[in-house]
Amino acid sequence: MRLDQEEKDMLEGKYGKATQKSMEILTTLGDIFDAESMIDVHGVQIAGVSYVNLGEAGLEFLNEMAEDGKVRVLTTLNPAGMDRENWQALGIDKEFAKNQNRAIDAFAKMGIITTCSCTPYLIGNNPHYGQHIAWAESSAVCYSNSVIGARTNREGGPSALAAALTGKTPNYGYHLDQNRHGQVLVKVNAPIKGTDEFGVLGKIIGDKLVDLGKKIPYITGIPSATVEELKSFCASVATYGGTALFHMEDITPEYDKYPRPSEIVFKIDQNDLDIARVELIDKDVEIDFVSIGCPHASIHEIANLANLLKGKKVKKEFWITTARPTKKIADEAGYSKIIEDSGAKFAADTCCVVAPIKGRFKGIMVDSAKACYYGRAKNKFKVKIGSIEECVEEATK
Ligand code: F3S
């Protein structure tokens, strides 16, 4: 790889050990993927924050980097294993809380903003069109590449941290024009509305892309989509298809920048949506847990929930997972009080997937196809997908 003088100095240790280690990680990655050079990144988002995923080995690596490492660009974190303020009410044990706090403290020591969210673009870590970034959370990577038109590969925990400590990433993959073309034309011939339905659509497209061995769909037939619907779609298509970039005609900013694919075409109609939805509802599921906010709920979704829960009482464990800054806006707007009066709980900076709740509930109801996938695979729950309105109905009946 071609390195400039500053990058060479980093590699030689002139900026300290953590920066040197970071540059070693990045040059190794660049060599593997044939990158010709490094590029500057404007922001970083780091995943692998939950102590469930980190363990002691991960924590040791973080502490080593925190000895002399300091971030050079705006950096935020993916959800942690618990809400640092509300963990006791959410049933998290003391030992786990202690270890999770050790991890967050190591990140803080490096100058990372310790807001833990999978929707950094909703809370100020928000690149603009064409900017290079290094993000790790799959749904956020898909959103930034596709909906914002920023450029990032899907980073692992160590490579994202290395990008934060150097302000650099190797220039390959989705940073380059030639790797951003649509590969499969998807025609949607059914009305799609709501976060749950966009999640179902993401599952269908994701599954199909895996079969085809392709990654970048060009989707037609969607007349409009909200931020919330797109974030749900991104989470789902990234989970089921490993997709980090899609184009949606008349909706995403790069849809007409590259040639429209024409060789591989597949169509989705109402019947496909109905079948996929049934696949996201387990037989004999008994719901004792409802969770909204995968990816993390926007203030708009929280306002809607306050409206739906006003004057009602929930009869099941009900979490609203969101970023702490969004929760603070909800507090000021009075939404939090309405929601908490109903018995529902905020789980800020964490989520129903990364929290250590494996086996704690029998069945989870969500509006997210991604949460269905991990609810089954990771936490061993039975699952049911539904709209936000249906989730509230289930929780209050
Ligand atoms: Fe975010 Fe957790 Fe879903 S990290 S995308 S809320 S699984």
Give per-residue pLDDT as tens, 347-371. Answer: 999 999 999 999 999 999 999 999 9
What confidence score (pLDDT) does residue 262 get?
A: 86
**Looking at residue 231, which CATH number applies to its domain?**
3.40.1060
Which amino acid type is present at position 196? D
Q: What is the pLDDT of residues 47-97, one digit of tens each?
A: 999 998 899 999 999 999 999 999 999 999 999 999 999 899 999 999 999
Contact 125, 45 (CB under 8 A): yes
Token output for 184: 């499969």
Same domain, 319 and 347: yes
CATH assignment at residue 384: 3.30.499.10
Instruction: Give domain status of residue 228, yes or no.
Output: yes
Share of the chain above pLDDT 90, in %: 97
pLDDT, tens digit, for every residue of 112-151?
A: 999 999 999 999 999 999 999 999 999 999 999 999 999 9
Q: What is the DSSP letter of 173?
A: G
- In this prediction, residue 319 carries a pLDDT of 97
The residue whose two tokens read 């997709």 is 243
- In short, whether 142's Cβ falls inside 6 Å of ligand 1 is no
- If asked whether residues 218 and 271 sit together in one domain, one would say yes
Q: Look at residues 146, 177, 208 and tell me which one is the last residue of a structural domain.
A: 177
pLDDT at position 263 over 90: no
| Alpha carbon of 78 to ligand 1 centroid (Å) | 8
- Following DSSP, what letter does each residue of 200-225 receive, concatenated? HHHHHHHHHHHHHT---EEEE-----
Strands of 55-130, DSSP E: 74-77, 113-116
Q: Ligand 1, atom 3: nearest CA belongs to which residue?
A: 294
Let me know if residue 73 belongs to a domain: yes
* pLDDT for residue 215: 84
DSSP-derived letter for residue 148 is: I
Give, in degrees to the nearest 5, the angle at Cα 164 between 237 and 374. Answer: 30
Whether residue 338 lies inside any domain: the answer is yes
Q: Looking at residue 279, what DSSP letter applies?
A: H
**Ligand 1 near 233 CB (within 6 A):** no
Chain segment 169-191, per-residue pLDDT in tens: 999 999 999 999 999 999 999 99
In three-state secondary structure terms, 181 is coil
Within a domain: 284:
no
pLDDT digits (tens, 9 = 90+) for 305-319: 999 999 999 999 999
The number of folded domains in the chain is 3
> 37 CA to middle of ligand 1, Å?
32
Instruction: Check whether residue 213 and residue 246 sit in a common domain.
Output: yes
Sheet holding 382-385: strands in order across? 345-348, 317-322, 289-292, 363-366, 382-385
Residues 171, 262 within the same domain: no
Residues 154 and 75 in one domain: yes
Give yes or no for residue 11 having a pLDDT over 90: yes
| Token digits of residue 178 | 């030639």
If asked whether residues 162 and 271 sit together in one domain, one would say no
Q: Based on the fold, state whether residues 103 and 137 are members of the same structural domain.
A: yes
Q: Which amino acid is at 65?
A: M
Q: Inform me whether the pLDDT recorded for 202 exceeds 90.
A: yes
Closest-CA residue, ligand 1 atom 1, reads 295
Q: What is the average pLDDT value for the chain, to the nearest integer? A: 97
Task: Render pLDDT for 268-326 as a digit per residue (tens, 0 to 9).
Answer: 999 999 999 999 999 999 999 999 999 999 999 999 999 999 999 999 999 999 999 99
Determine which helix (DSSP H) or strand (DSSP E) holds 277, and give its type and residue range: helix 270-279
E-assigned strand segments in the chain: 38-40, 43-46, 74-77, 113-116, 134-135, 168-170, 184-188, 217-220, 247-248, 265-268, 289-292, 317-322, 345-348, 363-366, 382-385
Report if residue 166 sits inside a domain: yes
Domain assignment present for 297: yes
Same domain, 256 and 324: no
Q: Which atom of ligand 1 is nearest to the CA of 138?
A: 5
290 neighbors 364 (Cβ within 8 angstroms): yes
Q: Tell me which residue of 311, 180, 171, 321 sits closest to 244, measured CA to CA.
A: 180
Tell the residue nearest (CA) to atom 7 of ligand 1: 353
pLDDT band for position 205 (cuts 50, 70, 90)? very high
State whether 9 and 150 are in the same domain: yes
Is the CB of 79 within 6 Å of ligand 1? yes
Structure confidence at residue 168 as a pLDDT band (50, 70, 90) = very high
Rounded to an integer, the average pLDDT of 257-266 is 91
What is the pLDDT confidence band of residue 246, given thresholds at 50, 70 and 90? very high
Q: Based on the domain organization, do 249 and 265 belong to the same domain?
A: yes
154's tokens: 């899907």
Asked, for residue 252, whether it belongs to a domain, the answer is yes
Same domain assignment for residues 155 and 188:
no
Question: Are residue 273 and residue 307 in the same domain, yes or no?
Answer: no
So what's the pLDDT on residue 5? 98
Residue where one domain finishes, among candidates 177, 194, 213 = 177
Among 177, 202, 223, identify where a domain stops.
177
Helices and strands of the chain, counted as H and E runs: 14, 15
From CA 161, how far away is CA 110, in angstroms rounded?
A: 10
Q: Which domain holds residue 201?
A: 181-279
Confidence at residue 2, expressed as pLDDT on a 0 to 100 scale: 96
For residue 385, give the DSSP letter: E
